[in-house]
Structure 1
Amino acid sequence: MKKLESREDIELLVNAFYAKVIDDETIGLFFKDIVKVDWDLHLPKMYSFWETILFGQMSYKGNPMSMHFPVNKIKAMEKHHFERWLQLWKLTIEENFTGENASMAITKSENIANLMSYKMEMARKQ
């Protein structure tokens, strides 16, 4: 196992994670059927997002929360969807990395999943 310590490591992590997500029965439909993600655009954004979160590089520009609200209107993004996202993310980290940044990537993802789940639920109640 190696430490999570570079942009290249983040790219490996994000690519391995989304390889799982695409085929996942619980959340894959959001990416394939609803959003129809353009991976050439999405993946570099995710590399920058996690580089900013983990290394403070400030390479990500955007509001990740705002991108999810329109999807939530088409199909409810519910707690179990975020739990599955988190499960796949943790599994991918644990398969590939060790160390402080790997642990921080898990902690940050837990916070993100909980916040997004809450915000999507609140948006559906409005």
Structure 2
Amino acid sequence: MSDTDLADEQRRAAIVQQMREQTGIDESMIERLVRGFYARIREDALLGPIFDARIQDWEPHLQRMCSFWSSVVLSSGVYHGQPMRMHLPLPVEGRHFDHWLELFEQTARELFSEQIADYFLERARRIATSLEMGIATSQGIFLGKGERFERR
């Protein structure tokens, strides 16, 4: 490992530690949220079939989602993926994102204090909005502020 790589790794570790201290969130909390949330998703009548049609082995997906949320919440940089590309082919619209957020909020509020749940939810809402807008745009629909995507 070069000196530059080592310095970058140390900088990243310091940022992650700072985020843990600022938010009160750590990797074990992220894992509890991810596992609890996706357990709900898998049992859900609306979202479960969409996920089950695409995910045969759940453990790699759960690990990927833990990495994703670690990158989102702790600035860890451990997630290396393309969420938009992965979501574009899904048969989802605004109501799916609303329901996804409902299940996410239920899970976060059951597991954590209001402050920590709100921290996760603020980011989840931004992610859902971004994905919904991206999917709509890929279908040639440009959403205005407050508009929701509905498949034709």
Under a length normalisation based on structure 1, what TM-score does the superposition of the two structures give?
Answer: 0.86
Query: Do the aligned partners of residues 117 and 37 (structure 1) sit closer, same or farther apart at CA in structure 2, a change above 3 Å counting?
Result: farther
- Whether the 8 Å CA contact 1:4–1:101 is kept in 2: the answer is yes
Cα deviations across residues 28-77 of structure 1 (Å, max 9, x unaligned)? 111112x1342121011100110111111111111111111133xxxx21
1:17 maps to which residue? 37
| Greater helix proportion | 1
Q: Which amino acid aligns with 2:59?
A: D
CA-atom RMSD, angstroms?
1.7
Identity of aligned residues (%): 31
Runs of 4+ in 1 over 2 A off after TM superposition: 99-102
Q: Which has the higher contact order (CA 8 A, sep 6+)?
A: 1
Query: Do the aligned partners of residues 100 and 27 (structure 1) sit closer, same or farther apart at CA in structure 2, a change above 3 Å counting?
Result: same
Q: Which amino acid aligns with 2:108?
A: I
Runs (5+) with no aligned partner, structure 2: 1-22, 142-152
Q: Which amino acid aligns with 1:49?
A: F
2:81 maps to which residue? 62
Give the Å deviation of 1:15. 0.3
Measured in 1, the distance between the counterparts of 2:108 and 2:24 equals 9
2:128 maps to which residue? 113
Runs (5+) with no aligned partner, structure 1: none
1:6 maps to which residue? 26
Under a length normalisation based on structure 2, what TM-score does the superposition of the two structures give?
Answer: 0.72
Report how many aligned residue pairs link the two structures: 119
The structure whose Rg is larger is 2
1:98 maps to which residue? 113
2:65 maps to which residue? 46
Cα deviations across residues 61-100 of structure 1 (Å, max 9, x unaligned)? 11111111133xxxx2100001100110011000000154
Measured in 1, the distance between the counterparts of 2:55 and 2:61 equals 11
